[in-house]
Amino acid sequence: MANDCIFCKIIDGEIPSETLYQDELVTAFRDIRPVASTHILVIPNAHSSSVTEMGDGDAETLGRIVTVANQLAKQEGVSKSGFRLIVNAGPDAGQVVFHTHFHLIGGRELGPMVAR
């Protein structure tokens, strides 16, 4: 657990969240400011500040994130209609929380992936 990391505090239950899933590797909870009817954050329990710190050594965790995202997409009814799994890393991507997280977003047509 990293000091003063809001997502570490959510994992530990110190900060409340609408948690949808938790196991020994990952936690999933609803984004506090959703951009679509489904907006869930799937995060590794082990703190890393960005996906740039993850790699081969995190294969099990990264695999679990995809498995859980797929399960939640089905549960939310967006698996067939479609969804995005997005990771922001660093300033140009607009990352604001420095605990690695995957956004699962769906429930409406999402438009172009990146504004031109």
By the criterion CB under 6 A, which residues form the site for ligand 5GP?
6, 15, 17, 29-33, 88, 94-97
What residues pair up with 102 in beta bridges, in sequence order? 42
Cβ 109 to ligand 5GP shortest distance, Å: 19
Cβ 12 to ligand 5GP shortest distance, Å: 13
- Encoding tokens for residue 28? 């999933």
Catalytic residue among 39, 99, 101, 103: 101
Q: Which does 47 bind (CB under 5 to 8 A by kind): Zn ion, ligand 5GP, none?
A: Zn ion
Tokens 């140009």 appear where?
92
- Encoding tokens for residue 88? 């922001």
18 residue type, one letter? E
